[in-house]
Amino acid sequence: MKKKLLSVLLSTAMVASLLVGCGSNAASDDSAATDAAATDTANDSAATDTSASSGEGGFVGVAMPTKDLQRWNQDGSNMQAELEAAGYKVDIQYASNDTATQVSQIENMITEGVDVLVIASIDGSSLGTVMSQAKEAGIPVIAYDRLIMDSDAVSYYATFDNYMVGTKQGEYIRDNLDLDNAAGPFNIEIFTGDPGDNNANFFYGGAMDVLNKYIDEGKLVVKSGQKEFADVATANWSTETAQSRMENILASYYADGTKLDAVLCSNDSTALGVENALAANYTGDYPIITGQDCDIANVKNIVAGKQSMSIFKDTRTLASQVVKMVGQIIEGTEVEVNDTESYDNGTGVIPSFLCEPVFVDSSNYKELLVDSGYYTEADLQ
């Protein structure tokens, strides 16, 4: 089985097709209904959860970073449900954002003899050794959402277009402050994600490629002076860390009533920290605040006017696409990708499938989040 998979991979990598869009039937697939209430933070290191299905179709190991963030619970439960429905046995594990835990979970999956590994890494650069073990065992690896760096064992990458996430956030700020026409200057502060997460570079890079021009010409002013990636990164994407950095910035630069016009936040957990800090320490009008994931707490804040937008990455869509890829790998058919240029993990470009993100704000959240069945009205009360 393993040898067959390896040769299949080599040939499929060469003929990987270039397709546009993402899992065509995914968004409307009721079988992948989102577990909107899946915010349980306990049991991250739960014992192996293998499917009750016969597993005749194959055995898939799914390694997720943490249960602490809503999105990973949704990603995990959607993928598990879809894989089981397709007849695969599944071992899904969450690692409490601890790399050593994730490594040992993946080692166990290799020992158990999984046919394919799907991994959303915690630190994309810390899986080299266990990736080599997977390669030796002939197990193909799909990097899920986050690219695994510096390893030639990564067969495919499935994600939303991370650079586009950043540009959409930057464009939202540009358009809503009307930077091309308004006189300004406007004050902005910047928060991005964990430096060990390769995505953070793309989110930050995409947004700054839109905003740098206005910073350079003085129309956007970063009062704190904190604008380089290292200054604005948030370890573990932690809400508390973002909150305390925002509190310091407010105390040092805005306590005299200076208006804060915008805060670029790469995702919802950092946006929540910024919003908590503002709620306790800022009396002016709420600035434009960006986010990503459409977590329930943040969508509630969008409805309440405390967050302006969030990027919506429908976890049902990504899960469906990955389940499709797993099937194609196991069946030895052509694996669909639509990008063979953007994601070099240090060993070469990894054939990728990029889904397209969209933004949600108060004008379209009902249509995109409620009418699509992602959340119920009650979830957002």
Alpha carbons 156 and 171: distance in angstroms, whole number: 30
DSSP code of residue 262: E
Tokens of 37: 């209430």
Q: Which residue has the tokens 């704190």?
A: 224
Cβ closer to ligand BGC: 88 or 157? 157
Cβ closer to ligand BGC: 23 or 58? 23
Cβ closer to ligand BGC: 121 or 187? 121
The CB-of-197 to ligand BGC minimum distance in angstroms stands at 5
The CB-of-295 to ligand BGC minimum distance in angstroms stands at 8
Name the 3-class secondary structure at 188. Answer: strand
The CB-of-252 to ligand BGC minimum distance in angstroms stands at 27
Report which of 124, 118, 114, 121 is spatially closest to residue 151, judged by C-alpha positions: 124
Cβ closer to ligand BGC: 91 or 293? 293
Listed in sequence order, the residues at least 6 apart from 272 whose beta carbon sits closer than 8 Å to its beta carbon are 239, 242, 243, 295, 297, 298, 301
Task: Residue 48: count other Cβ atoms within 10 Å of its Cβ.
Answer: 13
Alpha carbons 298 and 291: distance in angstroms, whole number: 8
Residue nearest to ligand BGC (CB): 267
The CB-of-137 to ligand BGC minimum distance in angstroms stands at 26
Alpha carbons 247 and 228: distance in angstroms, whole number: 19
Alpha carbons 293 and 278: distance in angstroms, whole number: 21
The CB-of-74 to ligand BGC minimum distance in angstroms stands at 11
Report which of 278, 232, 275, 226 is spatially closest to residue 255, judged by C-alpha positions: 278
Is residue 247 within a helix (H) or strand (E), and if so which, with residue range?
helix 239-249
List of residues contacting ligand BGC (CB under 6 A): 69, 71, 145-146, 193, 197, 199, 237, 267, 292-293, 313
Cβ closer to ligand BGC: 73 or 105? 73
Cβ closer to ligand BGC: 69 or 210? 69
Cβ closer to ligand BGC: 51 or 239? 239
Alpha carbons 197 and 204: distance in angstroms, whole number: 12
The CB-of-72 to ligand BGC minimum distance in angstroms stands at 7
The CB-of-194 to ligand BGC minimum distance in angstroms stands at 7
DSSP code of residue 339: B
